[in-house]
Amino acid sequence: MNKYEIVKRIEDFAPPALAEDWDCSGWAVETNREEVDKIMLCLTVTEDIIKQARQQNCDMIISHHPMFYIPFSISSPLAGEDVRRTGEGYIDIYTAHTNLDRAQGGTTDTLIKKLGFEVNETDDFLRFADVKISISELHNRLLKISPNLRYVNNSSVTTLRKIAFCAGSGSDFIEEAFEKGADALVTGDIKFHTALESPIVLFDIGHFESEIPVLQVFETLLPDIETVRAEERSPFIYD
């Protein structure tokens, strides 16, 4: 399949215009090759992921997290003459980051669906679900996604009626979630003082764990080309 058709499908779903100004969604590495036979999907591109892609004969990597903030083109003067001529040994790398976070059906929506809820309200990166669920039931559902779940319940709440969700790092949205009537926020990367002062229940399921379900979006968009998920995990180790 032509790699630009692959990218078009992703961008039709998650338009680049939705990305934050500071973000580097789009091409991270673009070779001279146009036809792609096999794609590796991953959350984050690392040296190990590139090695996996080469070992499995992938022509392209599609990731959620950007590699860096300056795209690298094989035709760039930064590339050697041999690379510019053939692109041999290089793998195309394309990223859909904050545009995928904002897109309907994107990163956070995929997490919510996996938990068995439906989105009732959307506000930029933040999603809301109207529910009636006990803390213990939500805790059990989240444990299936993140065995190392941690949570904060400063007010000893027992029942939740409105939950806010933000996959990745969403601690900046705590006040907004509270102001919009949410009883809890499900996200990752909660810091100590943020947790200490939170007016609502916080569930920290981990950055990796909250975003890894989004890879199924790429699989759904690309049913007619071979895709393989990279073997990757959270960098944190819990005993």
Give the pLDDT band (50/70/90) at residue 73. low
Question: Where are the domains positioned within the chain?
Answer: 3-100, 107-210
Give the pLDDT band (50/70/90) at residue 36. very high
Give percent of the chain above pLDDT 70: 91
Across the range 227-239, mean pLDDT stands at 92
For residues 90 and 117, the model is more confident at: 117
pLDDT tens digit sequence for 107-156: 999 999 999 999 998 988 999 999 999 999 999 999 999 998 999 999 99
Q: What pLDDT, on the 0 to 100 scale, is given for residue 111?
A: 98
Domain 107-210, what architecture? 3-Layer(aba) Sandwich (3.40)
Measured over all CA atoms, what is the biggest interatomic distance in the chain, rounded to whole angstroms? 64
pTM metric for this prediction: 0.90
User: Please, what is the average pLDDT of the chain?
Assistant: 91
Domains 3-100 and 107-210 share a fold: yes
Task: Centre a 10 Å sphere on the Cβ of residue 78 and count the other Cβ atoms it contains.
Answer: 11
Kindly report which listed range (75-84, 143-152, 160-169, 214-223) carries the lowest average pLDDT score: 75-84
Q: What pLDDT, on the 0 to 100 scale, is given for residue 67?
A: 83
**Domain 3-100 carries which CATH code?**
3.40.1390.30
Task: Centre a 10 Å sphere on the Cβ of residue 227 and count the other Cβ atoms it contains.
Answer: 17
